[in-house]
Amino acid sequence: MFVWSLLTILPLLVAAAPASTKEEAIWDRLGNLSPYHPAPVPSGMNVELPGDCKVEQIMYLGRHGSRYPLASELVYIQNLTYKLGNASAAVARAKLPKSMQFLKEGYRTTLGHDDLTAPGRLELFKHGVNFRLKYPQFNATSILAGGQDRVIESAQWFANGYYGRTWPNISSTVFSEIAENNVTVSWITPMDTCPKWDYNYGNNATIKWGSIYLPPITKRLNSLLPGVNLTDNDTHGALYACAYDLAAYDVSPWCDVFTTSEIQNFEYELDLLMDGAFGYNLPGDMGPLLGSLYVHTLIDRFSNSSAEPVYLEFGHDTTIDMALTALGLAKDTPPLSATGPVNPNRKFRTSTQVPFAAQMLWEKIACSSTFHGPQIRLVLNDAPFPLSTCAQSKTDKTYGTCSFDAFVAANNFSTSVTWGDSAWNSTCGNPGF
């Protein structure tokens, strides 16, 4: 039975790898639309803790796995395919480079929208297996998911990997949901109960950046496809097709169409969107305020000796970005600019912070000699993430740790805020419920 099961899943594991060299080059450069990949380990840091240290408590936040495009994004891809289909004669006459020969056969899309894809399911299943192997000393007794279909399904696939064949028998007692709406206070979607929050803070920035980087790409593509008359929106659709074909099928012919710098500009657009709507480019203290609900919850749990040893929770890329903003991590000075130029050394990078199936994992650690007193560490997408706001020693910087007391002191803003208090309402407005 075990051998049969292993043989059954091996093709799926092989299929999780991108198909071509060019796709491997851009596999991790598609911002928050990147398929899951481990983050690079910062120079000089150790992934493994010292031998005298042990993890005593864990708070895990997972993003849902790879998904189909949002309905608003799918429109760009569909409109592109309609235009190419209507201009099939012009495409047939065009002298296209090898990377665009696929257009001669006609490009069609069968992408759905919003839901988890097959690679997305596999990402979360593997995360569940790997978590069980990494922390065999723990036995999680609860899983919490934000109340959106792709989040719920992702949490369930993680649970299948973590619990195995016992999951169907225990799911009703282990699994719970928290609503994602404007009347449920939640650290997973805190912006929903912040009336003054507006997604367009980020969207407006991407419109500005798009007006700068898209026209040169459109001009280049039109020179190769005379008579098709592509617009900047069509170019945007082709970039989305690259990302979402990968998310759905692990391969996309569109990815080979773009140069490295063009993909980097698309990545920057996605960084601007997330930073503007869920990060440091929100007005005033709104970014740190929204993320404070998560950080406050983290500190409360790690301060409580009777708290659960393991928390497994599932949400969105936005949850992670707001938490990082409240923590003062991945912060750029000056802030990311919607008019460029692209900063290749920027700290706020959604490709490494929040790819599909991202994992924000917090460890509370006890050591017999390396450290004195409880320590905390952030492992973000399988790599230690420097806690620059509270790290005090060379050893801290080597392992990505800091003392829990120093961490609490560094995050006094988050612990001073409570949902609905004067600080919250002065920034967000009073929800009125």
Residue 37 sits in a domain of what CATH number? 3.40.50.1240
Q: At what angle do helices 286-303 and 317-327 cross, to 10 degrees?
A: 90
Tell me the pLDDT band of 27, cut-offs 50, 70 and 90.
confident
User: Domain of 25?
Assistant: 16-69+118-205+263-428
pLDDT at 25: 60
What is the identity of the amino acid at 181?
N
The residue whose two tokens read 């999951």 is 167
- Residues near 268 by Cβ (< 8 Å), separated by ≥ 6? 209, 213, 336, 340, 342
Rounded Cα–Cα distance for residues 388 and 397 (Å): 8
- Residues near 24 by Cβ (< 8 Å), separated by ≥ 6? 18
Question: Tell me, what DSSP letter sits at residue 360?
Answer: E
For the chain, the straight-line distance linking the first and the last C-alpha, in angstroms and rounded, comes to 54
pLDDT at 397 over 90: yes
221: left (phi over 0), alpha (psi -120 to 50) or beta: alpha
219-233, 235-249, 330-344: range with lowest mean pLDDT = 330-344
- For residue 246, being part of any structural domain is answered with no
- For residue 248, being part of any structural domain is answered with no
- The count of other CB atoms within 10 Å of the CB of residue 138 is 17
**pTM for the predicted model, two decimal places:** 0.93
- For residue 258, being part of any structural domain is answered with no
- For residue 20, being part of any structural domain is answered with yes
Chain-centroid distance of CA 187 in Å reads 16
The residue whose two tokens read 């292993």 is 6
pLDDT at 7 over 70: no
Question: Tell me, what DSSP letter sits at residue 116?
Answer: B
pLDDT per position as a tens digit, 262-294: 999 999 999 999 999 999 999 999 999 999 999
* Among 331, 430, 311, CA closest to 385: 331
Rounded Cα–Cα distance for residues 215 and 225 (Å): 15
pLDDT at 12: 42
pLDDT at 2: 32
Q: What is the number of domains present in the chain?
A: 1
pLDDT at 185 over 60: yes
Residue 218 dihedral angles phi and psi, to the nearest 5°: -60, -45
Tokens encoding 191: 């912006």
> Which residues belong to the active site?
64, 317
pLDDT at 8 over 50: no
- Is residue 133 within a helix (H) or strand (E), and if so which, with residue range? helix 118-134
Is 346 or 16 the better-scoring residue by pLDDT?
A: 346
- For residue 223, being part of any structural domain is answered with no
pLDDT at 300: 98
- For residue 268, being part of any structural domain is answered with yes
9-13, 160-164, 192-196: range with lowest mean pLDDT = 9-13
Chain-centroid distance of CA 206 in Å reads 18
Tell me the average pLDDT of the chain. 93
pLDDT at 432 over 90: no
The residue whose two tokens read 């065999």 is 136
- Is residue 378 within a helix (H) or strand (E), and if so which, with residue range? strand 375-380
- For residue 212, being part of any structural domain is answered with no
- Residues near 333 by Cβ (< 8 Å), separated by ≥ 6? none
Chain-centroid distance of CA 88 in Å reads 37
Rounded Cα–Cα distance for residues 183 and 100 (Å): 49
Percent of the chain with pLDDT over 90: 91
pLDDT at 306: 94
- For residue 423, being part of any structural domain is answered with yes
Rounded Cα–Cα distance for residues 359 and 220 (Å): 38
Q: Where are the alpha helices (DSSP H) in 27-70?
A: none
The residue whose two tokens read 């690679």 is 119
